[in-house]
Chains A and B, each alone.
Chain A
Amino acid sequence: MNEDNLKDIFKSVIEQDNNTEISETELKIILKNKTKNIFSKLKRNIKIGYILIGVYLLLAGLSYYWIFTEDNSVNLQYREMDWLLIFDITIDIFLISTFLNFAFKYIRLSNLESMEESLANTLQKIIELLSDYKKIFVIGFTLSLVSAFSGMIWGIVSTMAEEMKLNNIPEDGHTILMIISILFGTIVMSVFFILVWFIFKKLYGNYIKQLKIHYAELKENE
């Protein structure tokens, strides 16, 4: 097969069923559909993350309000435990930064959506965007878990400590209880963390890998 033959046959292969013309009406209908590209998926996921972190911070704000206005024994104990308060507030500050980072990424995505740059530039920006998104996703989720579990662990420990005091159980029991609660919390958080990482890898892992392979192939010999 010489090159002219190759071109001729190539055209017959890629122009298969090009005889069916799509009308202007059909084109207009197609254009009304939503895009399914990676940018639209990421934007949707960022919006969801945005909403979840926002709801979480709202609930955290409400819980602080309740803790400092409602004078019951549990709240009074919490107010005395400076270390826990500082810990929770620090986590919530990190979460607010993650929230703002999400917002910034969302705005940046809106400016990056165009597919009219060169292939190399398009691949590069998608790879960078997905890497950033993965970091924010993992950090945001981990911080949320840590914050949620610190409160849970403290709640379990203080409630059971109260029960122990009433039942005259010695002080050593409190330490053991604390250690068990922290171990339990760590195991549960680790399982959730691995699950989230696995889900992210399942959704985007192969896609990112393929994009990197394409980019490396493009830039080979340069």
Chain B
Amino acid sequence: MDKDFISIAKENQNLIKKVCNMFCKNEDDKKDLFQEILIQLWKSYETFRNEAKVSTWMYRVALNTAITMYRKEKRRPELREFEETYGTNLNINYSYEKAENSIMLYKAIDQLTGIEKSIILLYMEDFSSDEIANILGITANNVRVKINRIKLKLKEILEKRYE
């Protein structure tokens, strides 16, 4: 197995985990998605050798995989709430307010569509509109319009929760 690829995957595994955390709620789904993204990255690695930026390539493959992942409809056991799963794992130095905000934001993100999650993730990772447009296959102008709408949507959801 190509040592370069394993090295790249190991260094950038947090990128894949971020995508998994955005798109999946439970640990089994996260593991499945992580595995699938890794396999797809390996498959497209040959062509990547020509790409300029590792993160652009990885996000493109990861988001394509997350959005197009086929799952059979099945009954799932009750999903653990964010507070139960992660409440105790939050950094002990976090203030109560920050922890509360994290929980609120997590629930707000959960209400976004797959496309909205992709865009906001790339935006928060400091990708430019042009880079986001390239990854998604849309115009930069469309990206800007969507980012504004998503921010507004998140604001509305968070404001409702605070009320």
Interface residues of A (CB under 8 A from B): 1, 5-7, 9-18, 21-24, 27-28, 30-31, 33, 35-38, 41, 113-123, 126, 203, 206-207, 211, 214, 217-222
Binary A-proximity of B98-124 (CB < 8 A = 1, otherwise 0): 100110011001000111001011001
Taking a contact as CB atoms under 8 Å apart, the answer to whether A218 and B138 are in contact is yes
16 interchain pairs (CB within 8 A)? A9-B102, A10-B120, A12-B90, A14-B21, A15-B17, A22-B13, A30-B35, A116-B64, A118-B135, A118-B137, A119-B67, A121-B137, A123-B68, A218-B115, A218-B136, A221-B146
**10 nearest interchain CB pairs?**
A118-B137, A120-B137, A116-B44, A115-B64, A115-B40, A14-B18, A38-B70, A122-B64, A119-B136, A217-B115
Q: Which residues of chain A have C-beta atoms less than 8 A from B18's C-beta?
A: 14-15, 18
Q: How far is the CA of A9 from the CA of B100 in the complex (A)?
A: 10
Taking a contact as CB atoms under 8 Å apart, the answer to whether B113 and A217 are in contact is yes
Taking a contact as CB atoms under 8 Å apart, the answer to whether A18 and B6 are in contact is no
Report the minimal beta-carbon distance from A186 to chain B, rounded to whole angstroms: 33
Q: How far is the CA of A37 from the CA of B44 in the complex (A)?
A: 14
Interface residues of B (CB under 8 A from A): 1, 6-7, 9-10, 13-14, 17-18, 21-22, 32, 34-36, 38-40, 42-44, 47-48, 57, 60-61, 63-65, 67-70, 72-73, 86, 89-91, 94, 98, 101-102, 105-106, 109, 113-115, 118, 120-121, 124, 134-139, 141-142, 145-146, 154, 158
Given A121-B137, A217-B113, A222-B139: A35 and B67 interface contact (C-beta under 8 Å)? no
Taking a contact as CB atoms under 8 Å apart, the answer to whether A11 and B47 are in contact is no
Q: Which residues of chain B have C-beta atoms less than 8 A from A211's C-beta?
A: 68
Q: Which residues of chain B have C-beta atoms less than 8 A from A23's C-beta?
A: 10
Taking a contact as CB atoms under 8 Å apart, the answer to whether B145 and A119 are in contact is no
Q: Which residues of chain B have C-beta atoms less than 8 A from A220's C-beta?
A: 142
Taking a contact as CB atoms under 8 Å apart, the answer to whether B10 and A22 are in contact is yes
Q: Tell which of A33, A37, A119, A122 touches B70, judged by Cβ atoms closer than 8 Å.
A: A37
Given A7-B124, A38-B70, A120-B136: A115 and B65 interface contact (C-beta under 8 Å)? yes
Q: How far is the CA of A22 from the CA of B20 in the complex (A)?
A: 14
Taking a contact as CB atoms under 8 Å apart, the answer to whether A27 and B6 are in contact is yes
Q: How far is the CA of A126 from the CA of B68 in the complex (A)?
A: 9
Q: Tell which of B65, B72, B106, B115 touches A214, judged by Cβ atoms closer than 8 Å.
A: B115
Q: Tell which of B68, B89, B90, B118 touches A37, judged by Cβ atoms closer than 8 Å.
A: B68
Report the minimal beta-carbon distance from A76 to chain B, rounded to whole angstroms: 52
